[in-house]
Amino acid sequence: QCDKTFSQQNALKEHKRTHTGEKPYHCNQCDKAFATKRYLTRHQRVHTGEKPHKCNQCDKAFSQQNALKEHKRTHTGEKPYKCNQCDKASSTKIYLIKHQRVQTGEKPYK
pLDDT digits (tens, 9 = 90+) for 66-90: 999 999 999 999 999 999 989 999 9
Q: Measure Cα distances from 15 to 1, 27, 89 in Å.
A: 11, 20, 33
The answer on 77 and 44 residing in a single domain is no
Give the containing element (helix H, strand E) for 77.
none
Is the pLDDT confidence value at 1 over 80? Answer: no
40-48 mean pLDDT: 95
List the domain range (segments joined by +) for residue 59. 53-104
pTM given for the model: 0.68
Is the pLDDT confidence value at 110 over 80? Answer: no
The answer on 98 and 81 residing in a single domain is yes
Whole-angstrom distance, CA of residue 23 vs CA of residue 45: 18
The answer on 96 and 58 residing in a single domain is yes
For residues 62 and 104, the model is more confident at 62
The answer on 41 and 63 residing in a single domain is no
Residue 77 in domain: yes
Whole-angstrom distance, CA of residue 107 vs CA of residue 101: 7
Residues in Cβ contact with 6 at an 8 Å cutoff, skipping those fewer than 6 apart: 12, 15
CATH of the domain at 97: 3.30.160.60
Extended strands (E) in 42-85: 53-54, 61-62, 81-82
Q: How many domains does the chain have?
A: 2
